[in-house]
A = this chain, B = another copy of it.
Amino acid sequence: MALDYKESKVARILASGKTEFVGIIIPNLYMHYYAQILNEILPTYETFGYKFLVFVGDDKEDIERKYFQELLSYKIEGMIVLSHTITSKELASYDIPIVAIEREDEYICSVNSDNYMGAVQATSLLYKNGCDVLIHVNADVNERIPSYGRIQGFIDICNEHGLEHELILRDWGNTYKKNMERIAPVLDEIEEKYKNRKKGVFLSNDTLANVFLNLLVRKYGTLPGDYQIVGFDGSPISSEAIIPISTVGQQIDKIAYQAMELLVMQMNEKKKRRPVPLETPIHKVVTPILIRRETTK
């Protein structure tokens, strides 16, 4: 009896093409942002019934492509892609419903945080709190990647208010140790260059913000009054830091749910007798929420 059921399920896939499988490709699960996204996508099984084949790409383009091809051969119904390795043009050519999250998305549907508005909120807070020089710490992000909005939002608000500002765009490394080694000299530069100024520092993620805060607290025993700090993401480290860090909180639950909705919509269309493909990809944005804590008082 149980066995019959099993046989019929596979047979049904053959007949209908509906496996109820969705593939997810993630760069890694070391970064908390990705783990949180996955933590929100997987329980949508309760709502939509889809089961998820999850793969960690680790920036290995060839292996990701092989995995993709294999999933397609298993007749999965759709894909959610967070990794950056394969271009959206190639992904679009696979002819399967796809939603991208926080990656280059020119030819495919996507859901992203409103990075620009997040940066506007963070920068405006530092300005309103009386900082007279603003500093943005980020990687040298390509303009086609959604998170570039963080740089643009920072620049626009600084220019709008005629604020003195500096962009520090470098490769900070992928480990805490490297972050530390590379941020430490930046703190020395800032201390020297902007002595006696009220410094507002907006960092592109909470991990970097925590590194910057730790360096200051180790030096002064507390956060000195001439510093204000804002991170980005709303990840656990922002609240678990020695002084709770103000941050731009991503609404990860909404991003995950909207990604699934957008995917289900495409998968349902595809199952119709005469599916009508989208004329242009749909790009959704989710506004992040500024979380004010003790580093911006």
Interface residues of A (CB under 8 A from B): 2, 5-7, 9-11, 13-14, 21, 28-30, 32, 35-36, 38-39, 42-43, 45-46, 51-56, 58, 63, 67, 70-75, 176-177, 207, 210-211, 214, 217-218, 221-222, 236-237, 239-242
Instruction: Return chain B residues, CB-CB under 8 Å to A2.
Output: 72
A7 CA to B74 CA in the complex, in Å? 8
Q: How far is the CA of A217 from the CA of B240 in the complex (A)?
A: 13
Interface CB pairs A-B, < 8 A, 9: A6-B74, A10-B13, A10-B14, A11-B14, A38-B54, A42-B55, A53-B54, A214-B242, A218-B242
Partner of A176, one of B32, B207, B240: B240
Cα–Cα distance between A221 and B243 once the two chains are bound (Å): 12
Q: Work out how many copies of this chain go into the complex.
A: 2
Distance of A67 Cα from B20 Cα, bound (Å): 13
Is B221 touching A221 in the complex (CB atoms < 8 A)?
yes
Residues of B with C-beta under 8 A to A39: 28-30, 56
Q: State in angstroms the CA–CA spacing of A18 and B101 once bound together.
A: 32
Chain B residues lying within 8 Å of A177, measured Cβ to Cβ, are: 239
Not counting A11-B14, A51-B74, A176-B236, a sample of 19 additional A-B residue pairs whose C-beta atoms are within 8 angstroms of each other reads: A6-B72, A9-B75, A10-B74, A21-B53, A29-B36, A38-B56, A42-B55, A42-B56, A43-B56, A45-B55, A45-B67, A52-B54, A177-B239, A210-B240, A211-B240, A214-B240, A221-B221, A236-B237, A237-B240
The 5 A-B pairs of least Cβ separation, nearest first, read A29-B39, A35-B35, A242-B242, A42-B56, A54-B54
Return chain B residues, CB-CB under 8 Å to A58: 43
A160 to chain B: closest CB distance in Å? 35
Complex Cα spacing A248 to B53, Å: 32
Q: In whole Å, how far is A27's beta carbon from the nearest beta carbon of chain B?
A: 10
> Chain B residues with Cβ under 8 A from A10's Cβ?
10, 13-14, 74-75
Residues of B within 8 A of A35 (CB): 29-30, 32, 35
For the complex formed, measure the closest distance between the CB of A93 and the CB atoms of chain B, giving whole angstroms: 12
Supposing A32-B35, A53-B53 touch, asked if A73 and B5 sit within 8 A by C-beta, the answer is yes
Task: Give the residue of B5, B70, B240 whose beta carbon is less than 8 angstroms from that of A51.
Answer: B70
The answer to whether B75 and A240 touch across the interface, beta carbons within 8 angstroms, is no
With A42-B54, A51-B53, A236-B176 as given contacts, are A73 and B6 in contact (CB-CB < 8 Å)? yes
| Nearest residue, chain B, Cβ from A46 | B63
Q: In the complex, what residues of B have CB within 8 A of residue A53's CB?
A: 21, 51-54
